[in-house]
Amino acid sequence: MLAKVLQGEYRIVLSAALTIGFFSLLSKLLGVVRNRIFAGEFGAGDTLDAYFTAFLIPDFLYNILIVGVLSSVFIPVFAEYLVRDRAEAWRLVNVVLTVFAALLIIFSCGAIIFAPQLIGLIAVGFDDTKQALTVELARIMFVSAVLLGVSNIVSSILQTHKMFFSFALAPVMYNLGIIIGALFFVGPFGAQGLALGVVLGALLHLGIQLPSLFRLGFSFRPLFDLWHPGLRAIIRLSLPRTVGLAAQQFNFVVITAMASTISAGSIAVFNFANDLQYVPIGIIAFAFVSAVFPLLSASFARRDMRSFLDEFYLAVNQILFLVIPVSVFLILERAQIVRVLFGYGEFSWEDTRLTAAVLGAFALSIFAQSLVPLFVRAFYALHNTKTPVFINICSVFVNIGLSFYFLHLMRADGAFAHAVSALFRVSDLDATILALPLAFSLSSVINLLWLYFALSRAVVPFDSVPILRSLTRINIATLAMALVVYPALVMLSSVVNMQTFLGIFLQGVGAFVAGITAYGVVAYLLKIPEFFIFRQAFFLPVKKIFLSRIFPISTDTPDKL
């Protein structure tokens, strides 16, 4: 039974998307557990600064060589080969595995040798001891880049064959490996145990997918053929995407370098808050983009632009219906969320307040961060990769420029610094780190607006009315929710013991239940279509979603669902 589930084929798009979304949720929750363990064991200090910084270089290598080249290109090329000649398709897989594994090993070995110089370029604010620890952790983590690279290729093969279960489960296994490292490897190996946990997670990420791959009849044969037409097509088509990802990775490198100059723990605080705000983005945006991208591509292939726009409008409205209230919850309950998730052990109250403030700054742009991938994929469906890549690269430089400017304003101790400190309820000294998430949020909104106007010119007849009509009603419902949540937090603070974990947890959950109830009632009264769609989906049996695969996508009105 387990093997059947792991290796089963999904034939309905939204069923696959819901499976991916479910395991993405589970993976994000495990990521929160992972960070809670990190926070409790080490606090926001030098060790976690070194860990997160060390993670950057192997992650950069993996994203450029694998994600950039294969994420959106390998699948259509491989699928085309499968239609023409299955034997030649498997030959292409062997070529891709051989070439990219070799490249990863070569680059990883080079990075291991020059790790001190690379870390020195990034961690400009670290002292010698902290840099030495970062180098040790990075050298261990380079093994994970190779494993994840191979595993990502396997994931693409399984997706092509509509075998989504083990592909969706792989990130869960990855986080489990990191958690095992934090719990069991740190004792005997010290901070290096964290890096060993990353390697274990990468091994589990690959291992959970191999049985499904072998079930397809695959047998690995090393083939180093740089002139294979399929490989050359993949590399040629992936260049714009690779350039865009390189810019994004460069963005995080620069941000980390700036954070290293602020104070000990700044990098850890930034990453904790970023991971938290990315939970709804990773779950909601990833699931919807995965589901709608094939539909957009199919509509464009038929030159049915009305269908293209209908699917696009529906996806935008459904994403906004979920992420806007989530953003407000994160802003209003940021202190409760951070205290409950991270507030124990070595993670101090000051760490909590600062992480909560950074989370609030990130949450301002969750709606933009969630929609950007959808707009980018809409351009991809139009066979236009250059426009979104150009816009994203420009947005990266906007973010870097704003980060430097906001850091200057925060360090100048003027009106801007005092206003930010007062808004997020932290001291002027601690508030310096807020320059980075504020710059990130503003640049994310600029990125979305630029993509929006570019797409509206590229697709005729693009109409903003369906989005704006739904957005207006969603904002009204969200305002009603906020007017319930804040008083509920104040009232419950006088009822529960705010000095205990249970008291803070009950306060946050109570206000959340009251707020989500208000949001649902107002959404019902305003007849927001997305409310009825999600209510229908919520009550579908889990068995139908995950086993029967009979939950189709529909753009019908709520009464017809």
Looking at residue 13, what is its pLDDT? Answer: 47
Cβ neighbours for 137, distance < 8 A, ≥ 6 positions apart: 50, 51, 54, 55, 191, 192, 194, 195
Distances, alpha carbon 476 to alpha carbons 93, 164, 377, in Å: 51, 37, 29
Of 276, 281, 278, give the one whose Cα is nearest residue 338: 276
DSSP 51-82: HHHHHHHHHHHHIIIIIHHHTTTHHHHHHHHH
d(CA 269, CA 121): 21
Q: What is the mean pLDDT of each run of 10 residues along the chain (561 residues)?
A: 45 56 79 85 85 86 68 74 86 91 90 91 88 94 90 85 80 92 90 93 93 88 88 80 76 86 85 88 79 75 83 90 94 90 79 90 94 89 84 92 92 83 74 90 95 90 87 95 93 87 89 94 91 71 43 35 32
d(CA 267, CA 166): 33
**AA identity, residue 415:** A
Looking at residue 555, what is its pLDDT? Answer: 36
d(CA 161, CA 7): 10
3-state SS class at 428: coil
d(CA 168, CA 21): 8
Of 363, 366, 356, give the one whose Cα is nearest residue 433: 356
Looking at residue 403, what is its pLDDT? Answer: 94
- In the block, tokens 């969630």 appear at 370
Mutual orientation of helices 435-458 and 266-280 as an angle, nearest 10°? 40
d(CA 148, CA 218): 19
Cis peptide before 487 (omega within 30 of 0): no
End-to-end CA distance of the chain: 32
How buried is residue 464: exposed, middle or buried, by Cβ count under 10 Å (0-12/13-18/19+)? Answer: exposed
